[in-house]
Amino acid sequence: MVEVRVTIKLKEGVSDPEGANTLKALHLLGFKNVKNVRTTKTFNLTIENGEDIRREVEEMCEKLLINPVIHTYEIEIIGE
């Protein structure tokens, strides 16, 4: 078995309402030194050993996990 982490981010220039609301809330709580908040989503996958795990995970991202118009993603193969 192989552990894989996929981190999905909004592309630069894409609005992040959740990040903006979190920033406002942090400021209301007195954390004025926080200048920006961007949200990310992480998927931790456990995959059976196979031929080309990275290619398979890229295919998962492109077909289901991301919207290529607004998202970028990073794949990290953590280990067995």
Domain extent at residue 40: 2-79
Residue 62 has what pLDDT? 98
pLDDT at res. 49 = 87
- Distance (Å, rounded) from C-alpha 36 to C-alpha 24? 10
Q: What is the pLDDT of residues 17-35, one digit of tens each?
A: 999 999 999 999 999 999 9
Kindly give, in sequence order, each residue whose CB lies less than 8 Å from that of residue 9, ignoring residues fewer than 6 positions away. 38, 40, 71, 72, 73, 74
With a cut of 50, list the residues of the chain below it in pLDDT. none
Percent pLDDT > 70 in the chain is: 100
CATH of the domain at 31: 3.30.1280.10
Tell me what pLDDT residue 65 has. 98
- Could you give the number of structural domains in the chain? 1
Return d(Cα 41, Cα 43) in angstroms, integer: 7
Q: What is the pTM of this model?
A: 0.86
